[in-house]
Amino acid sequence: MKFPSLVSVMPGLAQLLQYERQWLRDDVRAGLSVAAVALPVAIAYAQLTGVNAAVGLYSCILPMLMYAFFGTSRQLIVGPDAATCAVIAAVVTPLAAGDSMKHWHLVMTMTVMTGFWCLIASHFKLGALADFLSKPILMGLLNGVAITIIVGQFSKIFGFTFDERYLIERLTGATTYLSKTHWPTLLMAIVTLATYALIKRFSPLWPASMCAMVMAAFLVWAFNLTAFDINVIGEVAAGLPPLQPPAFDIGITRELVVPALNLAMVSFVSMMLTARSFAAKNGYDIDADKEFRALGIANIASALSQGFAVSGADSRTAVNDANGGKSQLVSIIAALLIAIVALFFTEQLQYIPIAALGVVLVIASISLIDLKAVWNLRVRDRSAFLLASITLFSVLFIGIIPGIALAVLLGLFQFLASVMRPTDQVLGLDKKGVIRSIDDSGKAKPIPGVFIYRFNSALTYFNATYFKRRLLERFAREPESVDCIIIDAVPCFTHLDLSVMAMLADLHQLLKKRGVRLVIAGRKRQMLGWFELTGIQTGEGGILVRPDLYLALKMNQSYKQALAEGQTPVIQKVPNDSVLLHSHL
């Protein structure tokens, strides 16, 4: 392939350079379908974010093009997302203090900061953070965000304005607010919902949201319904935006650093769940580090084109896949179609009623709600249920931003718990002589006089004490006398840590006083180097190091046999660096 360095940076381009002609028909159909779904959602999410409807279009065009070249997923569609827009609105609205232009620039500033966080993460190969927020935490987060959005859209559907900022206060005053219902606005929302339902029922292949918004806009235009105080989105700027950076306010920008980091984390994790599921379905792999970079480039491109933050859009990705999309040409086609709308058809958009956008947002948010899945966790995994529930109620009770911060902290605590207090096993031999974990199945039996211990996490300073305590606790429960402890070094000794080495030295001295030999099995060269560096004695009288568990057992057996024959075992090194057991009288 030509230009290998270029295609390694732009994996999407590599795929397009190998494009197969038979894909074109499916990609064109999928591109048309994605554009039809993305248009109404982008306009609705612009209202949710608190910016002009045109900004929603800008947030689709350049980001979709950038991801088409830099992403590794063939089906993923990036664009405005309910969770990201809700987060941005929650952060920016208080800082803007009612100034619409300041609000817009803060939205762009937060978007570009989110993009830079993603690029930094990609540079340091932090794609593994895709697994940082566990599925239960993300389930609770998305359910909480969806419920918050739905309640927030009631004001647009019923035609009143919320005075409170938080969900609980809004629900508490529900009776008072419903008494302020603006009936023409509510009727327009009902017509929009009915149109959507009819399209879904009788023409499921049609873009129902688009049709519902077109019908609502037509009614406003044809019957001059603005005379009944039905609010519409108003004038939408025509044309494509000039590329320009947002106006930075250093003082306020400081307030956006941590929220932008949280947004980058949530956006990436959510995007990766979508990308991985469709990659698995279609039989290919994606690169998490390159996906982080692609998301960062897409967000920076959105900010430079005056748009707001984007993420992987699961509904539009599903539409793409359902229509047989084979490559990222789908994103290019959809972006070009949305650009045509932004250039030539913005005048018609001004008649779209706010109530119709509220209905579209409620419908989109309902697809994020899966309380049944959260409830089912209580039977399958109570700890996962607790994590999901805490995250869900945190978002509902203390707000989206604190809820996301708590979700990130829960993810961190969950990770630390798995590293600091990992699982461990005592190993034995089965009937075929294979080393395996001793459990209730009874397939493996303990080895007389030998205790084999495996610690399933990297050893470091903050779990070294726990490792020592667990080993001694399990060793103390051994029913028969043990004179040799073998530690499986492969899963736990991954890097040099002086605290771990000091713990091993203490453990060795403690066991030596009890007449128990300490053997480290695996990572022989590495362990010998570390022991030499830290001044810990190895070999005869010190910690024994073996290449693997099987050789450790074999040499321990030879050691006992030599003792039984009245010989004095001696450990010597031989030139080929293997360890052999010799004996002399």
The CATH number linked to 550 is 3.30.750.24
Same domain, 299 and 409: yes
Same domain, 346 and 457: no
Distance CA 83, CA 140 (A): 12
105 residue type, one letter: H
Same domain, 507 and 527: yes
Q: Which helix (H) or strand (E) holds 517?
A: strand 517-521
- With cut-offs at 50, 70 and 90, classify the pLDDT of residue 572: very low
Same domain, 372 and 428: no
Residue owning tokens 């004179």: 483
- With cut-offs at 50, 70 and 90, classify the pLDDT of residue 3: low
Same domain, 462 and 481: yes
Residue 12 lies in a domain: no
- With cut-offs at 50, 70 and 90, classify the pLDDT of residue 310: very high
Residue 205 lies in a domain: yes
Nearest residue to 269 (alpha-carbon basis) of 138, 390, 89, 140: 138
Same domain, 338 and 267: yes
Model pLDDT for residues 253-304, shown as the tens digit of each residue: 888 998 999 899 888 988 988 888 888 888 888 999 999 999 999 999 999 9
Please determine, for residue 4, whether its predicted confidence score (pLDDT) is greater than 80: no
Same domain, 351 and 434: no
Model pLDDT for residues 417-459, shown as the tens digit of each residue: 888 889 999 999 998 889 999 988 888 999 999 999 999 999 9
Same domain, 452 and 403: no
397 residue type, one letter: F
Residue 8 lies in a domain: no
Same domain, 179 and 288: yes
Model pLDDT for residues 486-544, shown as the tens digit of each residue: 999 999 999 999 999 999 999 999 999 999 999 999 999 999 999 999 999 998 889 99
Which percentage of the chain shows pLDDT scores above 70? 95
242 residue type, one letter: P
Domain count across the chain: 2
Mean pLDDT taken over the chain: 88
Q: Which of the listed residues 393, 416, 439 is the one where a domain comes to its end?
A: 416
Residue owning tokens 């009890």: 514
Distance CA 393, CA 399 (A): 9
Range of the domain at 320: 22-162+169-416
Same domain, 412 and 441: no
Overall average pLDDT of the 47-53 stretch: 91
Listed range (6-15, 205-214, 343-352, 503-512) with the worst mean pLDDT: 6-15
Instruction: Tell me the three state secondary structure of residue 426.
Output: strand
Give the global pTM: 0.76
Residue 4 lies in a domain: no
Residue 328 lies in a domain: yes
Residue 242 lies in a domain: yes
Q: Which of the listed residues 382, 416, 450 is the one where a domain comes to its end?
A: 416
Residue 16 lies in a domain: no
Residue 17 lies in a domain: no
Same domain, 362 and 472: no
User: Contacts by 85-88 with C-beta closer than 8 Å and gap 24+?
Assistant: 85/45, 85/48, 85/49, 85/308, 85/309, 86/48, 86/145, 86/148, 86/149, 86/400, 87/145, 87/259, 87/262, 87/263, 87/266, 87/309, 87/400, 87/401, 87/404, 88/49, 88/263, 88/308, 88/309
pLDDT at 584: 32
pLDDT at 166: 80
Q: Which of the listed residues 398, 416, 434 is the one where a domain comes to its end?
A: 416
Same domain, 389 and 432: no
Tell me the Cα Rg of the chain: 31
Model pLDDT for residues 68-109, shown as the tens digit of each residue: 999 999 999 999 988 899 889 989 999 988 888 899 999 999
